[in-house]
Amino acid sequence: MLSLNLSGQSNVPVRYKLRDLDASANNAIQPFALHARIGNTGAFNNIADAFVADATTVSAATQVSAVDVLLPAAYNNQALVQLRIMTSNAVGNDEWVGVDDIEIGGTPVDIAPTVASTAPANLAVNVALNSNITISFSENVNVSGAWFQINCASGARSAAVSGGPRVYTLDPNTDFAANENCSVTIVGALVQDSDGTPDAMAANFNFSFQTAVDNPPSVSSTIPANNQINVALNSNLVVNFSEPVTTQAGAFTLTCSASNAHTLVVSSNASGNQRTLDPSPDFLASETCVLSIIASLVSDLDGVANPLPANVNVNFNTASGAGYYASVDASSATTLRTSLHQLIRGHNCYFYSSSICTSPGEGDSVWRIIEAADEAPGNSTRVLDVYKNETYAKCQDRAGVNNNAMISFNREHSWPNSYGFNDRLTVSVNAGNVPNCPTPMRICCLPAMCSTTPTAVIYPLIFARAAAPSA
């Protein structure tokens, strides 16, 4: 059995030869027939013109019966055609017959073009209001005149045409309306292929789709959040919208209980869905502020310009302003990093110096700073160390002034400077400073020198520490 793909073929000839291979005295009548069917199931049909009544001759092996037939038109341009060459059980002894020189030809069919696909697809939903329409054909085509029609509930649309010769894009002159049904017709008579004889599409092609609902914009989040407290006095404000928007002058107003109305410098991110507001002047401490977003002055950019459904108010309270870190905004990692940098940048560096109190230039030395930071509770003349909770006299008990390691104090890093960054210095008993070496506090690198040191003084609650001088 032969299986043939005749796609794109017509006028298919089938040729073969039946050769008598039997020179015996057998004289059977050996008929042959050609059968065909479309596909691989169902009954075969007899091809009458291919019938051979007897393909053999007695006592000779010389007969050759040539078969040359044209398959009926029904088999043209079929993806699967099956052929079989059949004989019947002859009376007496069958004779040997070979099938030789099989030839199957065909003439290419000039098939009319079709629409292979569209975007949007037929019956698509939630199609963007600013969508283009793409038509892909089965082959290269030439289009002419009003070869397409776009009709929507909101009216017919013309379109700018680009692309070709196989894929064309239609850019409607007017965006679609929200939540409407649209249909597109490709006029078959005005679309022709460009191979061989020009063939038009066999019929018009139609498809339809539904556009998306155009939701109004909304405020998705703000910094600070509504009812947030302890907002840094130098904070900017951020408003995030659900989609890109346009904002008119006066879309944002900011009023505070003490500093009153603020001027806002407004900037937008690249995508248009975020606004950053830089207030002038900065906030005052411990005041209540209200950021108002005016609905009528904010609208989206897709389809019909929809405003915010209603005004949005964001309430917040500023930091108390007390203490060195009052301006730090810890509402997010980004604001914490930025505001902390603003606070500490431009700081002064203080260096190790002689431990002698009367040495020239001691004024802001490390010794003086840790004596202020670790001043003993209730006694401004003494410092409290980190290991024994013992107190030592400022100045005269410094290591290098008082050479008794058990009753003098030194400067101690709570994290080793050699580990890559310098952290807070604190007071430690001089005898406990050496065995720790370049390791974190409480880790002894010289065990032979380490021993448990009893606590000398137990202070109630948490030890009070004097604030370090601002840098």
Q: How far apart are CA 348 and CA 47, in angstroms?
A: 105
Same domain as 184, residue 249: no
**Could you tell me the pTM of the whole model?**
0.43
Last residue of a domain, one of 211, 246, 279: 211
Contact partners, residue 361, CB within 8 Å, separation at least 6: 353
Find the farthest-apart pair of alpha carbons in the chain and give their distance in angstroms, rounded: 142
Same domain as 455, residue 374: yes
pLDDT of residue 462: 36
Same domain as 201, residue 145: yes
Of 171-180, 234-243, 427-436, the range with the lowest mean pLDDT is 427-436
Same domain as 337, residue 351: no
pLDDT in tens, 104-161: 998 887 889 999 999 999 999 999 989 999 999 999 999 999 999 999 999 999 999 9
Phi, psi of 327 (to 5 degrees): -85, 0
Average pLDDT of the chain is 85
Q: 340, 445 in Cβ contact below 8 A?
A: no
Q: Please give the residue range of the domain that contains residue 192.
A: 115-211
Domain count within the chain: 4
Q: How far apart are CA 17 and CA 101, in angstroms?
A: 6
Burial bucket for residue 428 (CB in 10 Å: 0-12, 13-18, 19+)? buried
Same domain as 351, residue 241: no
For residue 168, what is the domain's CATH number? 2.60.40.1220
Q: From the CA atom positions of the chain, what is the Rg in Å?
A: 47
Same domain as 230, residue 186: no
Q: 416, 438 in Cβ contact below 8 A?
A: yes
Last residue of a domain, one of 327, 342, 357: 342
Q: What is the sign of the dihedral through the CA atoms of 371, 376, 381 and 383? A: negative
Q: 187, 146 in Cβ contact below 8 A?
A: yes
Average pLDDT over residues 270-299: 95
Same domain as 129, residue 69: no
What is the SS3 assignment for 342?
Answer: helix
pLDDT in tens, 356-398: 676 544 555 788 888 888 888 888 899 888 777 788 898 888 8
Name the residue among 108, 135, 142, 102 with its Cα closest to residue 7: 108
> Which token pair is 200?
């038009």
Q: How far apart are CA 105 and CA 11, in angstroms?
A: 8
Same domain as 450, residue 353: yes
Same domain as 415, residue 398: yes
Of 2-6, 33-37, 157-161, 176-180, the range with the lowest mean pLDDT is 176-180
Same domain as 193, residue 125: yes
